[in-house]
């Protein structure tokens, strides 16, 4: 009986496992069905959109071509009118001159006939007057009439090869692509931003520039956020826990038109944006409080972040506009805010000075980075290497720190006497003109 009961339990267990496997199998199949449905919808929607684009483009093209042909016809007809008018004008003037000569000859002929056939007593006087008048008119002077070969004979020269050229160009105009040449590849969450990466999927396509667009949630219009040769871009001013849609296209080498857009994809960040703290007299902040400007105030001190928003495993980036440097300047991270200091070159902090010197807990390292330049970026990357037990009471704690600036980096271990899940960041500058963006 015990063996039979055990066998029943085993069978029940196997049945439950089979049921769970069947449920999992059904869920996977249903998920694949949804994937197939999405793929089918994408094909149908993109095909419909492509038809609309083609029909609209060729409709516009036909309207433009008709307009251009009408304008050219009008121009040629106007040219015919001008040549006709300019050529006939001298002929009209010559005709008036000849018609006047004919009228004058008719009058002279009638007067001559009257003088010849008149009374003998008055004939001598009439003949004398007629002869003088005839000599004055110069009957041997005739106006020149151009021959037909010397006057314009208008004609139209129409090259039939234009139709052949247009036909060849039209038949080569436009292509239909089954896949865009570039696609979005990865979204990396950043505090208040998203690092977007993309890649080519058509190896034969040579890209000159890329164009990245995004829109918030269900907004109707995409807007440009980057145009350039890079294959990644940090999109800032992203609100946490809000979906954004992205798409990218490319422009081929030597071409003006952009390729088709990639399939839109959704990205978001769950990390709150980095912000500088407000209220420090020596610094002015932007509206989003991610940019700090060292102003003309004589007040000195360290400007800290609003909260400890830097976590190990992330990359903290500073981008700055430079002013006059000073050896006490600093950019870096620290365990805690501490009022009264004029620099991060102190204990429980790591930083880089504007001249490139690196400080760990207030001590300058032998290794040095290039001086900070305008527009360059300084990045901090940290990973945890725990030396001893970590508890609420503290313990030995080691962070592996990488600081990069102007394509060079230093790597070192930062030993702390307490666990640090998150860190503050800060900066200090002695002279005005420095502006720092943090992300």
Instruction: Give the pTM.
Output: 0.61
Interatomic CA distance for residues 140 and 138, integer angstroms: 5
Q: What is the DSSP letter of 238?
A: P
The pLDDT, as a whole number, for residue 188 is 92
Taking residues 261-276, what's their average pLDDT?
92
Please, is 338 exposed, middle or buried when counting C-beta atoms within 10 Å of its C-beta (0-12, 13-18, 19+)?
Answer: middle
Q: Is it true that 182-267 and 283-438 share their CATH fold?
A: no
Interatomic CA distance for residues 122 and 125, integer angstroms: 6
Interatomic CA distance for residues 214 and 265, integer angstroms: 10
- The residue ranges of every structural domain in the chain are 11-145, 182-267, 283-438
The pLDDT, as a whole number, for residue 117 is 75
Q: Which CATH number fits domain 182-267: 3.30.160.250, 2.60.40.10, 2.30.33.40, 2.130.10.10?
A: 2.60.40.10
Window from 2-11, 114-123, 139-148 with minimum mean pLDDT: 114-123
DSSP secondary structure of 320-365: EE-----TT-EEEEESS--TT-S-S-STTEEEE-TTSEEEETTEEE
pLDDT tens per residue, range 31-42: 999 999 988 998
Percent of the chain with pLDDT over 70: 96
Q: Say if residues 402 and 409 touch (Cβ distance below 8 Å).
A: yes
Q: Say if residues 423 and 308 touch (Cβ distance below 8 Å).
A: yes
The pLDDT, as a whole number, for residue 388 is 56
Taking residues 242-257, what's their average pLDDT?
91
Taking residues 174-184, what's their average pLDDT?
87
Interatomic CA distance for residues 84 and 247, integer angstroms: 60
Count of Cβ atoms closer than 10 Å to residue 246 Cβ: 22
- Given a cut of 70, whether residue 393 has pLDDT beyond it is no
Q: How confident is the model at residue 387 (pLDDT cuts 50, 70, 90)?
A: low
Name which CATH class applies to 283-438. Answer: mainly beta
Q: How confident is the model at residue 144 (pLDDT cuts 50, 70, 90)?
A: confident
- Given a cut of 80, whether residue 396 has pLDDT beyond it is no
The pLDDT, as a whole number, for residue 113 is 79
Window from 26-35, 137-146, 217-226 with minimum mean pLDDT: 137-146
Window from 152-156, 167-171, 225-229, 395-399 with minimum mean pLDDT: 395-399
Interatomic CA distance for residues 362 and 346, integer angstroms: 4
Window from 136-140, 337-341, 347-351 with minimum mean pLDDT: 136-140
The two structure tokens encoding residue 240: 């946490």
Angstrom distances, CA of residue 28 to CA of 22, 36, 96, 279: 10, 12, 100, 55
């Amino acid at each position: 009986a015990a063996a039979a009961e055990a066998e029943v339990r085993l069978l029940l267990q196997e049945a439950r496992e089979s049921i769970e496997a069947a449920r999992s199998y059904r869920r996977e199949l249903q998920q694949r069905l949804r994937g197939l449905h999405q793929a089918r919808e994408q094909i149908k929607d993109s095909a419909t959109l492509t038809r609309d684009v083609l029909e609209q483009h060729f409709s516009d093209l036909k309207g433009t071509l008709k307009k251009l042909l009408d304008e050219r016809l009008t121009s040629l007809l106007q040219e015919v009118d001008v040549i006709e008018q300019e050529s006939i004008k001298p002929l009209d003037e010559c005709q008036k001159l000849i018609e006047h000569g004919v009228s004058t000859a008719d009058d002279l002929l009638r007067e001559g006939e009257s003088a010849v056939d008149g009374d003998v007593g008055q004939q001598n006087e009439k003949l004398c007057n007629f002869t003088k008048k005839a000599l004055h008119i110069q009957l041997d002077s005739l106006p020149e009439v151009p021959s037909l070969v010397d006057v314009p004979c208008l004609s139209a020269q129409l090259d039939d090869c234009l139709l052949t050229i247009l036909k060849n160009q039209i038949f080569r105009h436009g292509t239909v692509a089954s896949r865009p040449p570039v696609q979005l590849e990865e979204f990396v969450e950043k505090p208040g931003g998203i690092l977007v990466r993309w890649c080519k999927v058509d190896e034969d396509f040579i890209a000159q520039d890329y164009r990245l667009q995004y829109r918030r949630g269900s907004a109707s219009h995409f807007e440009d956020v980057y145009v350039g040769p890079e294959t990644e871009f940090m999109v800032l001013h992203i609100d946490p826990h809000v979906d954004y849609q992205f798409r990218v296209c490319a422009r081929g080498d030597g071409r003006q038109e952009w390729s088709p857009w990639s399939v839109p994809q959704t990205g978001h960040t769950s990390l709150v944006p980095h912000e500088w703290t407000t209220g420090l007299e020596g610094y002015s902040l932007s509206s989003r409080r991610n940019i700090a400007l060292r102003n003309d105030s004589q007040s000195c001190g360290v400007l800290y972040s609003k909260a400890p928003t830097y976590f190990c495993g992330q990359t903290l980036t500073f981008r700055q506009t430079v002013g006059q440097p000073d050896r006490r300047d600093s950019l870096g991270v620290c365990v805690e805010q501490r009022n009264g200091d004029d620099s991060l070159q102190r204990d429980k902090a790591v930083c880089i000075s504007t001249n490139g010197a690196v400080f760990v807990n207030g001590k300058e390292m032998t290794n040095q980075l290039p001086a900070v330049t305008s527009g360059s970026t300084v990045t901090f990357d940290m990973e945890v290497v725990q030396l001893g037990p970590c508890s609420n009471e503290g313990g030995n704690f080691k962070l592996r720190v990488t600081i990069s600036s102007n394509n060079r980096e230093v790597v070192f271990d930062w030993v702390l006497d307490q666990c640090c899940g998150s860190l503050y960041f800060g900066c200090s500058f002695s002279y005005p003109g420095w502006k720092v963006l943090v992300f």
